[in-house]
Amino acid sequence: MKTKTSANLDDVFFPRNVAIIGASPGVAYPLALLGGKLRDRLFMVNPNSTEVFGRKSYASILDIAEPVDYVILTLPAKYAVQAVRECVQKGVKAIHSFTSGFSETGLKEGIEMEKELVSIVKGKARLIGPNCMGIYCPKSGLSFNPASTHEEGHIGVISQSGTFAQFFIHAGRSRNVKISKIVSYGNAADLDCPDFLEYLADDSDTRVIALYIEGIKDGRRLKSALEYAGSKKPVIALKGGVTGQGGRVASSHTGALAGAGETWATMFRQAEVVQVDDFDDLLNAAVALNDSPLPAGKGVSIITYSGGFSVVQTDMCVKAGLDIPQFSAKAVEELRKFVPVSGTMVGNPLDAWQLFYKYEEKDGTLKDVLRIIAGEKDVHSIILQFDVIRFMLNMWGDKFEEYFAAVAEKVLQGCHYARESGKLVIVSMFLDPFAENEIERKYNLLFKKRLESEGFPVYPTLNDAVRTVASIYKYTEMRRKKLLQTG
């Protein structure tokens, strides 16, 4: 039985009200919070204003009559110590310092000030940061970005980098990333990564945890928290600073010692945490783990319109530790009944561009392809490369909406069938971010949202899809081995 050591953080994530010290239209927090559930329990504090966004602005937190649970500091660093003293005096339970200029500067003055903040709050309040974005929690209303959807979901994020925390917020709109909680924890002067890991491990609203970490003060404590979280739910981790040079940069970013890449890899493996190499992989894996079935093995089938992609992506899969198994004779025979001979490959990957344009037929459509492939016992995940809307627009002209609606239905029926057969189904949909084709973009986004609303992850490139399947397979494989060991 894994154990945890941290305090309950409900007071941190679910304050009854919030004050922003240093509130002004120039910082993101007032708008971020006005968009969520705390909008009517929000106090602005700024001695240089009388109001901010139409709300009364107090000169000091001590001027607020009501009790205050949670404070966001956005004032210059030199005023932070005094502000934190006043927060403690006021009885605030949690203080988040967006304000930077502390230990991360590497300067003696900043390091001393950070120590002072910690000694002031000790035993009285919890401190988040300094030098971080803080908390996003749609269920309570906390947020750090006006672009937040405030939609409640099941992906938990813990990030030592503020930028990556922001990217998860933006992905809430564009990548179907539905969040339970995001924590950007910066210098971790008080609350640190292990505290948040253990809290999210026990949080019933969180199904999967995405972690970005650069370094840690207490390695044993992190190891224990990772093992606790890893035993409870899927955890995906991106470790920044795995190379010597990256470690040097990490230590000047958050002041933490990055340590050797191999040590971290071992720690993650032992905790059944999937380590990824890249931010996109972290985000993509979290989306797929949120509500897709786990594949029972490493067999992948790719359904595509391109021989070139078939070849290159098979290489990608193999390099990523996956397998592109050959289809059974029976499946090949069934497929040959309706896949044209010319310009196609009846095998795995299945390259049959003509089928993407079949809207009329009752039989022999992509639906049947998905059904037949879902029946293959060596195939555990299916990737459908659906980049063809631009060609359909050219080919079908005025008839596009009618014909495409028919194709879309068949594809969705096939995807549902495959998922009900226990397969992980992922769609890749390429849209060049630099291409100026708004009509193409519009129809792609409509179909993407439809797929997502029915629970299928959609990624912008085939590489994203392959790498995500690889991450998830890695997770299932670690679970399987662990169960065998403990079995």
Site for a second copy in 382-411 (CB under 8 A): 394-395
User: Beta-carbon neighbour count of residue 92 at 10 Å?
Assistant: 23
329-336 vs 366-374: helix axis angle to the nearest 10? 170
| 117 touches a second copy (CB under 8 A) | no
CA torsion 404→406→407→408, rounded to 10°?
80
- Which residue lies nearer to a second copy by CB, 347 or 364? 347
| 453 touches a second copy (CB under 8 A) | no
- Which residue lies nearer to a second copy by CB, 180 or 254? 254
Phi, psi of 73 (to 5 degrees): -95, 120
Encode 362-393: b = buried (16+ Cβ within 10 Å), e = exposed. eebbbbbbbbbbbbbebbbbbbbbbbbbbebe
Pairing status of strand 350-351 against strand 300-304: parallel
| 381 touches a second copy (CB under 8 A) | no
Gap between the Cα atoms of 314 and 445, Å rounded: 27
| 252 touches a second copy (CB under 8 A) | yes
| 433 touches a second copy (CB under 8 A) | yes
Helix (H) or strand (E) holding 464: helix 462-486
Binding residue count for a second copy, defined by CB under 8 A:
80
Interface with a second copy (CB under 8 A), residue from 5, 50, 89, 174: 174
Gap between the Cα atoms of 275 and 47, Å rounded: 46
Interface with a second copy (CB under 8 A), residue from 342, 453, 485, 486: 342
Residue 72 beta carbon to a second copy: minimum distance, rounded to whole angstroms = 16
- Which residue lies nearer to a second copy by CB, 99 or 180? 99
| 194 touches a second copy (CB under 8 A) | no
Interface with a second copy (CB under 8 A), residue from 259, 295, 299, 460: 460
Interface with a second copy (CB under 8 A), residue from 62, 118, 249, 260: 249
Helix (H) or strand (E) holding 135: strand 134-136
Candidate ranges 49-57, 114-122, 216-224, 425-433; the one touching a second copy (CB under 8 A): 425-433
Residue 198 beta carbon to a second copy: minimum distance, rounded to whole angstroms = 23
- Which residue lies nearer to a second copy by CB, 5 or 243? 243
| 347 touches a second copy (CB under 8 A) | yes
Candidate ranges 64-72, 149-157, 170-178, 476-484; the one touching a second copy (CB under 8 A): 170-178
Phi, psi of 52 (to 5 degrees): -130, 125
Helix %, strand %, coil % for the chain, to 5? 45, 15, 40
Pairing status of strand 235-239 against strand 300-304: unpaired
- Please name the amino acid found at residue 486: T
| 332 touches a second copy (CB under 8 A) | no
| 265 touches a second copy (CB under 8 A) | no
| 105 touches a second copy (CB under 8 A) | yes
Interface with a second copy (CB under 8 A), residue from 86, 116, 205, 323: 323
| 343 touches a second copy (CB under 8 A) | yes
- Torsion sign across C-alpha atoms 389, 391, 393, 398: negative
| 455 touches a second copy (CB under 8 A) | no
| 284 touches a second copy (CB under 8 A) | no
Within positions 124 to 153, which residues make up the interface with a second copy, using CB under 8 A?
131, 146
Gap between the Cα atoms of 349 and 352, Å rounded: 9
